[in-house]
């Protein structure tokens, strides 16, 4: 699933291309996950923002077009006449823009979703309404993070993936940050010192992922159709059975709360 670095990479690539563009028409797959895209017809896109894993495009009529990429979604701008635009079976929504181009939402597994709502009114998007501070924002502080984690007895990775203590973190970057912080993925409580260390490592792994254009394990593509390269820099995620890069102990994996997590039994002992 695209996480903060992948979504932010797409946002940065689209930022110079979308503001001021008029949506002349919109077409979608018949699923109600995608049909709200049609409501943006006739508006002008004013920008492209991000909150956690959500892309948010303010429109000139006071609404926002909100896009969640799901597990396999991607966005790109391409010419209306492009063969890929007309032949790709995985395009779920497309907005016809002025100047002969379209904004394309491609989603192989159809777990993405689109909404068009009054600006800031996210009551119909519970995961967006309830999410915590963005992981790369000034609002994400060590103390606030610690207090948010204290309010739940769920395992720390499960809390991270809920988006409530911090927004934008998924399984890949949570695994990397927990390994760097030396925190076992089965822990339900951590100290204030551990939370501060995890806060630091979360920011570090997300910034590294962003610097590498995101992680492409299989389906992720950025707005230019390219792949990220951060998969080559992963120290823990997906490396079960291989030696820990810190202590050489073979990494292990275990399923917690229906999520398979890799960890080092030596560096992340309980």
Q: How far apart are CA 119 and CA 45, in angstroms?
A: 13
Beta-strand ranges (E) seen in 100-167 are 101-107, 113-118
Q: Residues 97, 122: one domain?
A: yes
Q: How far apart are CA 198 and CA 190, in angstroms?
A: 10
- Residue 42's pLDDT is 98
- Residue range of the domain that includes 218: 142-263
Residue 9 is inside which H or E element, if any?
helix 4-14
- pTM: predicted TM-score of the whole model, two decimal places: 0.95
Q: Residues 34, 67: one domain?
A: yes
Q: Residues 167, 238: one domain?
A: yes
Q: Residues 149, 110: one domain?
A: no
User: Which tokens hold the place of 266?
Assistant: 């030596």
Last residue of some domain: 74, 104, 129?
A: 129
Tell me, yes or no, if 53 is annotated catalytic.
yes
The answer to whether residues 173 and 160 touch, using CB atoms and an 8 Å cutoff, is no
* Residue of 201, 222, 204 lying closest to 213 (CA atoms): 222
Question: Which position among 3, 6, 64, 101 bears the catalytic label?
Answer: 3
HSE of 58, CA atoms in CB hemisphere, 13 A = 12
Last residue of some domain: 102, 129, 156?
A: 129
The answer to whether residues 176 and 205 touch, using CB atoms and an 8 Å cutoff, is yes
Q: Residues 56, 98: one domain?
A: yes
Q: Residues 17, 94: one domain?
A: yes
Q: How far apart are CA 171 and CA 162, in angstroms?
A: 11
Q: What is the full per-residue pLDDT of the chain (270 aa) written as tens digits?
A: 799 999 999 999 999 999 999 999 999 999 999 999 999 999 999 999 999 999 999 999 999 999 999 999 999 999 988 877 778 899 999 999 999 999 999 999 999 999 999 999 999 999 999 999 999 999 999 999 999 999 999 999 999 999 999 999 999 999 999 999 999 999 999 999 999 999 999 999 999 999 999 999 988 999 999 999 999 999 999 999 999 999 999 999 999 999 999 999 999 998
For the chain, the domain total comes to 2
Q: Residue 78 belongs to a domain with what CATH number? A: 3.20.190.10
Question: Which position among 53, 63, 92, 221 bears the catalytic label?
Answer: 53
Question: Which position among 2, 36, 58, 157 bears the catalytic label?
Answer: 2
Question: Which position among 17, 22, 192, 259 bears the catalytic label?
Answer: 259
- Residue 1's pLDDT is 77
- Residue 219's pLDDT is 84
Q: Residues 35, 96: one domain?
A: yes
Last residue of some domain: 129, 151, 185?
A: 129
- Dihedral over alpha carbons 193, 257, 209, 64 (to 10 degrees): -110
* Residue of 66, 38, 52 lying closest to 6 (CA atoms): 52
* Residue of 230, 2, 13 lying closest to 103 (CA atoms): 13
The answer to whether residues 62 and 40 touch, using CB atoms and an 8 Å cutoff, is no
User: Which tokens hold the place of 25?
Assistant: 């028409």
HSE of 223, CA atoms in CB hemisphere, 13 A = 21
């Amino acid at each position: 699933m695209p996480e903060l670095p992948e979504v932010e990479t797409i946002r940065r690539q689209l930022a110079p291309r979308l503001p001021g563009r008029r949506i002349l028409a919109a077409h979608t797959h018949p699923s109600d996950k995608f049909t709200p895209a049609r409501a943006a017809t006739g508006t002008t896109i004013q920008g492209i923002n991000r909150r956690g894993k959500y892309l948010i495009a303010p429109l000139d009529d006071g609404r926002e077009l909100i896009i969640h990429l799901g597990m396999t979604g991607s966005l790109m701008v391409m010419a209306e006449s492009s063969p890929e635009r007309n032949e790709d079976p995985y395009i779920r929504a497309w907005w016809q823009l002025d100047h002969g181009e379209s904004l394309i939402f491609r989603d192989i597994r159809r777990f993405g979703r689109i909404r068009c709502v009054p600006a800031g009114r996210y009551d119909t998007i519970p995961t967006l309404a309830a999410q915590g501070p963005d992981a790369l924002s000034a609002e994400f502080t060590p103390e606030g993070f610690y207090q948010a984690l204290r309010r739940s007895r769920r395992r720390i990775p499960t809390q991270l993936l809920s988006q409530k203590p911090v927004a934008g973190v998924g399984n890949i970057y949570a695994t990397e940050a927990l390994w760097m912080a030396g925190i076992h993925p089965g822990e339900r409580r951590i100290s204030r010192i551990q939370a501060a260390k995890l806060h630091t490592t979360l920011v570090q792994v997300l910034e590294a992922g962003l610097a590498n254009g995101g992680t492409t394990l299989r389906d992720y593509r950025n707005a230019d159709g390219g792949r990220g390269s951060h998969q080559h820099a992963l120290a823990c995620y997906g490396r079960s059975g291989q030696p820990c890069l810190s202590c050489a102990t073979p990494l292990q994996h275990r399923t917690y709360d229906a999520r398979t997590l890799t960890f080092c039994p030596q560096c992340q002992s309980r």
